[in-house]
Amino acid sequence: MWFKITVIILLIGVIFMAHGQPDYGMYSLAKTIYHMTDMGELAARLGSICTFDRRGDVVFLDDFESGLGSWQKIAGGTGSDAVISADNARNGFLSCKMTTGSDGTKLIRLARYLPLPVYSAFGVEFSVAISPFAITGYLTGDILVYDGVNVNKFMIKYDLADQNLYMYDSAGAWVDMAMPYELQRYTYLFHTIKLVGDFSTDRWKRVIVDNFTVDLSGYAVYTAASAGNPMMEVNIILHTDDDANRYVYLDDFIITQNEP
């Protein structure tokens, strides 16, 4: 009888025994260091360029240390070009110097293409250092998704003349996002911009510029008919109104999915 009771008690103890982490490894008491439990922080400390906004799962990233082989370059006008430059960089040694044409369409465009992804909230993050010249024109970033019938366009624009930030709404109009300050123009100062849109709901989520965040969840995406084959396209475009070659430095480009 007592033997049976003892066995039952032991079985109950095994069933309800706590199964936590062992008292060694990263959960053990440390006297001289702090253990690392955030893998995003670990990646940042090991040199990842994902240090600004760490939300979302990375689909593609480029620090331009390996050239422009991942990009299509579309020039517009005399002197228009995009080249790898050692003049400055946000991280590492190199960045991409984007120079507009001095005539014609007066722009330079970099395009990145990906297969049509599983729909989720996507983000595009990039950093730019704006030349100190009194540039007029604009810098735009966009995410375009073609599904074979329509194209959805998440687009933002930084106006280099009035130095305001705009988003492209569902009616095809540019909406001022009322930035509280202008972006300092200095060749060695990189500003980081991130736009996030949800392709599963066809709605915006947010735009971040440095420490300024705008909640855009109340806006639907712009949609137009398009017979283009299903794919995802991301563009960075610099355009000037001046009859001169104007430039910015582009660095640390990141595409993410599954954004919260």
The band of 131, judged by pLDDT with boundaries at 50, 70 and 90, is: confident
181-239 per-position pLDDT tens digit: 899 998 899 999 999 999 999 999 999 999 999 999 999 999 999 998 999 999 999 99
Q: How confident is the model at residue 31 (pLDDT cuts 50, 70, 90)?
A: low
Per the document, the length of the chain is 260
Whether 185 and 132 have beta carbons less than 8 Å apart is answered as yes
Alpha carbons 126 and 196: distance in angstroms, whole number:
12
Q: What is the pTM of this model?
A: 0.84
> Over the stretch 148-160, which tens digit does the pLDDT of each residue have?
999 999 999 999 9
For all residues of the chain together, what is the average pLDDT?
Answer: 88
Q: Is 232:144 a contact under the CB 8 Å cutoff?
A: yes
pLDDT at 54 over 70: yes
The answer on pLDDT for 63 being more than 90 is: yes
Mean pLDDT of 233-252: 96
Q: pLDDT tens-digit profile of 99-108?
A: 999 999 999 9
Task: State the Cα torsion 71-76-77-79 to the nearest 10°.
Answer: -20
Domain ranges of the chain: 55-257
- Check if CATH label 2.60.120.200 holds for domain 55-257: yes
pLDDT number for residue 3: 57
**What integer pLDDT is reported at residue 44 of this predicted model?**
66
The percent of residues in the chain predicted with pLDDT above 90, rounded, is 73
Element of type H or E holding 5? helix 2-15
pLDDT of residue 53: 86
Confidence at residue 135, expressed as pLDDT on a 0 to 100 scale: 78
Q: Please state the rounded mean pLDDT for residues 29-42.
A: 63
